[in-house]
Amino acid sequence: MDLERILFTQGFGSRRQCRALIADGRVSIAGSSCSNAANATIDIASDTLASFEFQVDGATWRYREKAYLVLNKPPGYECSRDPQHHLSVFHLLPPRLTERGVQCVGRLDQDTTGLLLLSDDGAFVHAFTSPKRKVPKVYLATTRHPLDDAQLLALRNGVLLHGESQPVAAVSAEQRDERQLELSVLEGKYHQVKRMVAAAGNRVEKLHRERIGGFALPDELAEGQWRWLDDADLAMLRHC
């Protein structure tokens, strides 16, 4: 396999830029520098390509046909490549990941924190954003006013949002504390959780996404950090 093509698919720039990386001796495999772009081919079987590793400027990278990431989104970041008022969440990722075209799997408001998936796999993005797939998303909302049974019941039975013709109901709505609400929803409408809580007679002060499908935000992942999703993570995502 052509090393230049591998670098290109992994987001290390254009074909010309990847060729220059090799020619400048900045790429190595198993500690051996590859400096001849014309002859830089890798004898590797397709079934072992997934475990293939290479080094660029001393940093080790593993070949991944598709990128699947989880990011613990901090407040003050927009889920857009063209942010209007705040930094983009893509500032939190290495440039090579944005170069290969990863996109947010659904969006979180700039002041909403927590679990954000990113991928360059269009089918994966669709699977977790399409309302037809009915993938539950679990949020922890801190409310301005104390919660009461009437608000929880309204959220479970369905509230009518402005501009909608049919009520929207939560999969579940449980009170964790006087002003803390755990809410599970299937849709991803604009400002949905905030609008639902407002329609029930309260107001969201803070919002944090904890879970998508069967996958919870890892405890060890600090705000602003990201990591690759492994096969076990992907299996949990699909386990609703």
Catalytic positions are 109
For 116-184, give the DSSP string: EEEES-HHHHHHTT-GGG---EEEEEEESS---HHHHHHHHH-BPPTT-SS-B--SEEEEEETTEEEEE
Q: Phi first, then psi: what are they for 232, rounded to 5°?
A: -65, -40
Q: Are 210 and 115 in contact (CB under 8 A)?
A: yes
Helices (H), the chain: 3-9, 15-23, 95-99, 122-127, 149-157, 192-199, 231-238
Q: Are 70 and 59 in contact (CB under 8 A)?
A: no
Residue 211 neighbours by CB under 8 Å, 6+ apart:
115, 136, 137, 138, 217
Q: Between vectors from CA 21 to CA 18 and to CA 25, what angle results, nearest 5°? A: 145
One-letter amino acid of 158: G
